[in-house]
Amino acid sequence: MGTLLQFCHATIYTNDWAIKVRGDPKSVKRIAEKYGFTNMGQIGDLKGYYSFRHQQTANRSTEFNKEVTNHLAKETKVEWLQQQVVLRRVKRTSRRSHVHATDLVTGHLQSPFHQSNLNHTVNVSWPLWNNLWYTSCSETNGCQFGMNILAAWRRGYTGKGVVVSVLDDGIEKEHPDLKPNYDPLASCDVNEQERDPSPSYSNNAANSHGTQCAGTVAASANNSLCTVGVSFHARIGGIRMLGGDVTDIVEALSLNFRPQYIDIYLASWGPDDDGATLEGPGPLAHLALQSGIENGRQGRGSIFVWASGNGGQTGDHCSCDAYTSSIYTISVSSISRYGVRPDYLEECSSTLAAAYSGEETEEMMIVGPQQGCSRTLSGTSLSSSLAAGVIALTLEANPLLTWRDVQHIIVRTSKAHHLVAPDWHYNGAGYKVSLLYGFGLLDAESMVKEAERWKQVPAQRKCVEEAIQLSRIIYPGSVLTSTYETTGCSSEALRYVVYVEHVVICITITHSRRGDLSITLTSPAGTVSQLLAHRPLDNSTEGFQNWEFMTTHSWGEQAAGEWTLKIKDTPSQKRDNAKLGMLKKWSLVIYGTAEQPYPVHHQRVRSAELSMDSELTEGYGGPCDPECSDDGCDGPGPQQCVTCLHFLLKFKNNSRLCVSDCPRGFWGDRWRCKRCYSSCASCTGSRSNQCISCVPGHHLTEDTNTCTASCEDNYYLDHDTDLCKKCSENCLKCTSYNICTECKPGTSLQGNRCQRSCDDGFYHDMQEDECRPCHEACATCAGTGVEACNRCAKGFLMEEWRCASSCSAGFYATEPTPEIADGHRICRRCDSSCLTCVGPGRQNCSSCSSGHRLQEGVCVVNTECTDGEYQDSDKACRACDATCQKCTGPRREDCISCGSSQQAVPGLPHPSPNEW
């Protein structure tokens, strides 16, 4: 079965091209128009990269459009182009789930879990929280070691101010558990090019995966229907990109959507877990990941959380999935609450940590489809969703963390206790690591505590050693060994790496059966990373072509020294080719820092015992602590000073300590540290309006210097600075200075601004300070023109945020419903297989693009041409001359038979209509 999978999936080409153009927008427009393309716009934030759509090419075809591609390639300003192909992407879904009905009266699940209403302010000591499946850990239920999420909540961290977006098949924004935290600014539908990320359940499609992941991350804590999310005050968005054809463009747009607004991107999908696939991000998706790391979150780097994979039962190895083995992603595996490996779990050296998932003997409630709940089992999707929630808690504790800071914190705080694995070992830096669980189980409390005091790690260095050209034979049954001696690029200051983070091996191997190979890398400290294990179902003869393997198992070790690559070929009975494998080349890339990323706390060495007289002198005559003043001390410590050189810190138990600076939560009043107001983290005095920064869960209000849990009226939370800033003049409430959500009396909301109230059909002209009529297509509007409509007038339809008298080609009109567009009809885009349509889905096409024909409402590829058409050299059906009923070519001379009242004369032109 594994063999068949490699050959059944034919390449499907779309009518979209990705193209890199060197030049201004005018050049891009000229090139697009010259070759019959529609410029769909720049691809996210990837400068110079554009999406072109060719209307004369079939939406889906097994044939590559060589002619169009070659024409484009001849343009001097075109640096790169690629016709897009449909990618097979699989959700890391649980193996079974079923929906549970809700109580028709209360609307809540019939369970004791939901019989009590949650208060607006969550009390984490309430018994409900101890019953959540991911927080319930005790000896009575067999759980050995928890993720300490409850403890992180008790410290005040709930994900507030953090934005998470789920890249998946969509999320139900109206689900009762998601609606309070849903963020439209973190959401879109890339497949349909709309704002609404709601999943499609047409044709019984199983599209609840994104909703389930979103609920695990950020289901609301108030009046929950199904569960409570790990970061239940985080903002949650959805990017629908698995709801249609997935291409490199679709992935790049999704990974690069609003990187300055979204903090965490959750992706619980990837290439097939069939034990035979070798695949990773395309060139655009790779650039999008790199762009997010370099530019996202105001330069601190977007956080990409990825599910490691569910292919354990097929012998898959997640190093063959280049999404999870990228240094830019946090790859998360699964562990049962009993510390046992789930049977679906894959091994690889790129996994950073593990999180809980379900077990076969345990069912737990999560958010389900169609505003319901579901009980589900297992899957790295759940584990990665838990991890995204824990990282949201960590970012709330310290929003200034970089993408590498987050990975360092995970490495330093993850717990290996009680996790059962045969390969646990300590690396050269003292970290315990495993192919199954990385550095261990995520610990939410330890992560937020570490984040509170974290200092940013030094800049990343990249040491690239030149590829070793070998062409060495890999003999069956033996091990090929190749070594590389490196100094960590010590001769190049900007590339010099002393302390290792990630190590990447780029390798090219030819082989008659790829699944027979296994590869290890040994660091100078002796740590062995298994880069690849045997894959029984991988019968590919393609080997590895510049494939990148990544390991985190040498984290913290010294880079300099001898790195040893070992390749073993274990012949299987499935191999039918006697051709020997060959290692063509390999190169070593080491990522890390030139300086120690954090202070090393050496253990105090016990001094040699000294023979001393049993009688002690009455006074202390030794050295004083540097923080003691000239008045002396009664002992060597800072708590034994007579008076302090700088500040005295006094504790409730009357103990004293001399310090150079007052710690967080205190301020210096002459020589004494005094406590700040309870909500202040730092301050200039003890009053509530003397705050400089706030404790977690509170925000500093501009101008008033007070700390509040939520911004007051006329203020909004600026997520970049974590400050409550003033709204614009007429706003009562707003989400930013210019985006009002509620207005002061005497004004009304016009678009995003509060303006003088005008009747329906009019808008406020700010320059003239008077109400002017809207465009005739608008029922209400924010300004002049049809593009400024908020709602459409009677007889008009909303089409992609503008009002039209009828739907354009490629769109269909929906029936009015109260939930959509305030009961007005709207125009929705036809299915990608239709040229025009009368309704949603593939079955409602009314016409098709060239090369297709309509068959019972579905567009199918022409196998033979109909009357009035002929088949060209590319086997596509083209229109005959208007006078022909049947023909062999486009000219009038090519007629085989004529239309009514016409007669074909071979080789002679036919009369024009004017000659009839």
Which of 16, 45, 168, 245 is an active site residue? 168
Q: What is the pLDDT of residue 578?
A: 74
Structural domain contains residue 121: no
- Strands (E) in 107-203, as ranges, are 163-168, 188-189
User: Hey, how many other C-beta atoms are within 10 angstroms of the C-beta on 531?
Assistant: 26
Query: End-to-end distance of the chain based on CA atoms, in angstroms?
Result: 65
Q: Indicate the residue among 398, 426, 452 that finishes a domain.
A: 452
- Residue 571: domain span: 461-593
Residues 571 and 481 in one domain: yes
Q: Are strands 739-743 and 731-736 parallel, antiparallel or unpaired?
A: antiparallel
| Residue 168 a catalytic site member | yes
pLDDT at 329: 97
Considering the domain architecture, whether residues 428 and 473 belong to the same structural domain is answered as no
Residue 755 counted as domain residue: no
Q: What is the pLDDT of residue 138?
A: 52
- Which of 777, 809, 829 is the last residue before a domain boundary? 829
Residues 270 and 392 placed together within one structural domain of the fold: yes
10-residue averages of pLDDT along the chain (916 residues): 44 95 91 93 94 93 92 92 95 56 36 34 43 59 72 93 96 92 95 92 77 92 81 96 95 96 96 93 97 96 94 91 96 84 90 81 64 70 94 96 97 88 89 94 94 93 87 91 93 92 96 94 95 93 95 95 94 80 95 85 30 39 78 80 86 78 86 90 91 90 90 87 87 85 80 77 80 89 82 86 86 75 77 88 87 81 76 78 85 80 50 38
Residues 323 and 466 in one domain: no
**CATH code where residue 581 lies:** 2.60.120.260
Are 864 and 872 in contact, with CB atoms under 8 Å apart? no
Does any domain span residue 797?
A: yes
Same domain, 264 and 133: yes
Within this chain, do residues 296 and 427 fall inside the same structural domain, yes or no?
yes
Per the structure block, which two tokens stand in for 628? 């003691």
- Domains held by the chain: number: 6
Assess whether 232 and 272 both reside in one domain: yes
Strands 869-871 and 877-879: antiparallel
Q: Are residues 257 and 346 in the same domain?
A: yes
> In terms of C-beta density within 10 A (0-12 exposed, 13-18 middle, 19 or more buried), how is residue 733 classed?
middle
Pair 444, 469 in one domain: no
Report how far apart, in Å, the C-alpha atoms of 851 and of each of 61, 196, 871 are: 10, 32, 9
> In this structure, are 278 and 385 located in the same domain?
yes
Residues 6+ apart with CB under 8 A from 488: 463, 496, 497, 498, 558, 559, 560, 590, 592
Per annotation, catalytic residue among 54, 108, 175, 209: 209
With respect to residue 553, please indicate whether it lies within any of the assigned structural domains. Answer: yes
Instruction: Enumerate residues 6+ apart whose C-beta is below 8 A from 180.
Output: 220, 222
Residues 466 and 358 in one domain: no
* 381 in active site: yes
pLDDT of residue 259: 96
Residue 504 maps to a domain:
yes
If 0-12 CB within 10 Å is exposed, 13-18 middle and 19+ buried, where does residue 77 land? middle
Q: Is residue 391 part of a domain?
A: yes
Confidence (pLDDT) at 439:
95
Q: Last residue of a domain, which of 593, 614, 645?
A: 593
Q: For residue 120, is it within any domain?
A: no
Q: Are residues 367 and 485 in the same domain?
A: no
Distance CA 846, CA 858 (A): 8
Token pair 């003691």: residue: 628
181 is a domain residue: yes
Q: Which of 224, 331, 381, 529 is catalytic?
A: 381
Q: Is 805 a catalytic residue?
A: no
Q: How far apart are the C-alpha atoms of 15 and 54, rounded to whole Å?
A: 5
Which CATH number belongs to the domain containing residue 425 in this structure?
Answer: 3.40.50.200
Q: Do the strands 666-669 and 656-659 form a parallel or antiparallel pair, or are they unpaired?
A: unpaired
